[in-house]
Amino acid sequence: MTELKATIVVAGSVCAPALCSKVPLSFWGGVDPHTGEVIDVHHDLNGQCMTGKVLLIPAGRGSCSGSGIMLEMIRQQTAPAALISIEAEPIISLGSIMGYELYQRGVPIFTLKEEEFNAIKDKTVLNISQDGIITFDNSSVEG
């Protein structure tokens, strides 16, 4: 079992499978907020659904409209279960914070150091506690 200590950007706890990418993602134009599917045809997650998964992207990319897309995903209940990145994501985080304010639900957001981020494999089930402790076993992957 591996244990990592993440920096909390937006607090929350979750247990869900990882959806991993090494490529930054723009929520504006890159994600369909009605389905949670990555629609950026140039992104390695194109066609995959982030709903209910812990999305790992190194950073966000692009527009300040990403917070609105995150908020709409929270409203539509198509948002990821959590977001982990290497760089803090203030724009995407704002959407989650607004979700807690408007809908009493949001997306926990964390950052990890690059080597810790890279230690998590796609589909690995992650247990993330309220205090930012991430535990997982890369041999236990979902489907």
Q: Residues with catalytic annotation?
A: 63
> Facing residues of 60 across strands?
25
What does the alpha-carbon distance between residue 92 and residue 98 come to, in Å, rounded to a whole number?
10
> Are 103 and 73 in contact, with CB atoms under 8 Å apart?
no
Sequence-distant (≥ 6) Cβ neighbours of residue 3 within 8 angstroms: 133, 134, 135
The Cα–Cα gap between 36 and 70 comes to: 10
